[in-house]
Structure 1
Amino acid sequence: MLRKLSLRDAITAAIVVAGHLASCVSASADDGPRGLAYAWPGSAPAPGVSKLAGGLPSAHSEIDTEHIFGFSMGSDIGKPGEMEIEFENVGAFGKRSGTYAAWANLNQVKYTVSDNFRIAPGFALTGHHINGVPGLADHRDLAFGGVALELRYKLLDRAVAPFGLTLHAQPGWSRIDDGSGMHIAQYGAEFAALFDRELVKDRLFAAFNVWYGTGGTREISTNLWRHDSEMQLQAAISYAVHPDLLFGLGVRYARAYDGGGLDRFLGDAVFAGPTFSYNISKEVGISGTWQMQVAGQAIGDVRSLNLDQFERHQALLRLNLHF
């Protein structure tokens, strides 16, 4: 059974990991900028392209770490003037009984304004197939979900600092509840601190995220308001088996609350699963993960796993088009 962690414990864990990253500042300055170049036998180095430590020429000048960790995010935001279209699909499957499947699709246009700032407006689509799940109405639907605006500011550049750190904020409006599929009017936002670091040059990367989401929701059928919030601590590693192909593992600890300010604890869950990232070409990339709830419990429920606030499985598949 999962041990209940207090909010103090969760924040302490975040501080410890962040402190560990900061302790890496002792890395030698002679290493220069932490380039993420790759090289493989049989390829000739292009002008200005670096080599691996073993002397092999690099196929790419760098790897963008933003999407190589599954649900977790790296600190990279792209180069100034770059534009990107992203299609992010998240699926949630399985409750205690009955049939449950939910799909959320976020479509964004990302524009990197400067070395440190990126803006990304987007809209969402949702879909549900719910049948025989206690507490949820049976229905199947596909609908327009809402709009969001993502803002990211790179506070520390991992190319010149011991680790990367980007701050994330995303206010939004939703008309469909992601969990139940019911019609609502929801106003909320999510905030995050995204840390990452190159552990083994050109091969192994790690990320640590702290996420906080809050919102106010008005149920259309009853005209009643409710407020809820959630906090997540996320960690992931990713290993490059090829310049364009990375595999890894992600772990997330999530806590759900009644009240917009982490007020009344409702339950927690731990998810874990493999991740991948593949660059089909210089302009097209895909990435994703499938994670299973491996521990959790809802308040007032002695059964293992928390299938009240969360699902048995959560999956992500993301397509990125670069311009």
Structure 2
Amino acid sequence: MFVFGKLSFPRAAATATIILASQLVSCVSAFAEGRPKPAQGLPPAHAEIDTEHIFGFSMGSDIGKKGDIEVEFENVGAFGKRSGSYAAWANLNQVKYTVSDNFRIAPGFSLSGQHIKGVPGLADHRDIAFSGGALELRYKLVDRAVAPFGLTLHAQPGWSRIDDGSGMHIAQYGGEFAALFDSELIKDRLFAAFNVWYATGGTREIATNLWRHDSEMQLQSAISYVLTPDLVLGLGIRYARAYDGGALNRYVGDAVFAGPTFSYTISKDVGISGTWQMQVAGSAVGDSRSLNLEQFERHQALLRINLHF
């Protein structure tokens, strides 16, 4: 069942990704200059390892402590269709405030960019634009510090004016909802996460004034190992199902993504994390070819910067 697709990464997308990564690393290095590094030696259980971002696309249950303020820059890249040149970038910038030990709020705004040429079904497009806004709400239902596992509930209503995948001008209203589980399998060393995600939305195409509704369900799992006090490495896998209709009405295709994850603590106030995942299996309704390159891409990557205040 698992079929590995041929690597197809547009040169322009690769160059842009390398430049973006270099700039981000330079920025956070400058921010961290002169700040003390975390003490050597493994941290005490549940005290230093923040599981929220050590699993790549998957999320841990930690939300910080009461009064914590965090600024986050999240960049997601999608690369490769069955033919032509395709690269899309979605950026979400948030300010996170932990209201209490169990509740956090995070308003944010997003940017998006596309470089599309010769992809069937998509107009050639090259642009970067402001794309919308969102409000993230998280509630920690079970604390992993006092229970065998942690569980946090996530809700994020949002509005978009640009379709991240095509660059088309739209008016989209929707939201995503998730249950985020995690557990410490080996004290201070090995962590695992399991997420259930559901996203739904209504979209009006500005050019045609036509409405459509779609939804998606994802099951995600990941495992991460604390290699050093600053570096966490792991592996993540996601199963995604796409539907026409806002309530998982008509199944149109699925995909499985897998790849390595990392999280690196530059200083006690600055962290960087990410993943690169490849579609290893998938199918679209009405298409007998391997992989699903209609609703999904061949590769998806994540690079995230977190600044703590």
Q: TM-score, normalised by structure 2?
A: 0.87
Return the letter of the residue paired with 2:195. Answer: N
* Matched residue, 1:187: 173
Deviations 1:115-171 (A, max 9, x none): 100000000000000000000000100000100000000000000011000000000
Work out the CA distance in 1 between the residues paired with 2:228 and 2:133. 36
Deviations 1:237-277 (A, max 9, x none): 00001011000000000000000000000000000000000
Query: Could you tell me whether the CA contact under 8 Å between 2:155 and 2:177 is conserved in 1?
Result: yes
Larger relative contact order, structure 1 or 2 (CA cutoff 8 Å, min sep 6): 2
Quick one: percent identity of the two aligned structures?
83
Alignment of 1:133-172 (within 5 A): 133-172=119-158
The alpha carbon displacement at 1:61 in A equals 3.6
Alignment of 1:67-106 (within 5 A): 67-106=53-92
Work out the CA distance in 2 between the residues paired with 1:61 and 1:200. 15
User: Is the partner of 2:147 in helix, strand or coil?
Assistant: coil
* Matched residue, 2:48: 62
The alpha carbon displacement at 1:178 in A equals 1.2
Aligned length: 275
Return the letter of the residue paired with 2:41. Answer: W
| Counterpart pick for 1:126 among 99, 102, 112 | 112
Work out the CA distance in 2 between the residues paired with 1:127 and 1:62. 35
Alignment of 1:216-235 (within 5 A): 216-235=202-221
Query: Structure 2 stretches of 5 or more lacking a match?
Result: 4-37
Query: Could you tell me whether the CA contact under 8 Å between 2:2 and 2:280 is conserved in 1?
Result: no
Deviations 1:203-251 (A, max 9, x none): 0000000000000000000000000000000000000010110000000
* Matched residue, 2:245: 259
The alpha carbon displacement at 1:2 in A equals 6.0
Aligned-residue RMSD, C-alpha: 1.7
* Matched residue, 2:233: 247
Question: Runs (4+) of structure 1 moved beyond 6 Å?
Answer: none
* Matched residue, 2:303: 317
Query: Which protein has the larger Cα radius of gyration, Structure 1 or Structure 2?
Result: 1
Return the letter of the residue paired with 2:95. Answer: V
Query: Could you tell me whether the CA contact under 8 Å between 1:256 and 1:266 is conserved in 2?
Result: yes
User: Is the partner of 2:134 in helix, strand or coil?
Assistant: strand
Return the letter of the residue paired with 1:130. Answer: I
- Is the alpha carbon distance of 1:292 and 1:65 closer, same or farther for their aligned partners in structure 2, counting shifts above 3 Å? same
Q: TM-score, normalised by structure 1?
A: 0.83
Structure 1 position 290 matched with structure 2 position 276: yes
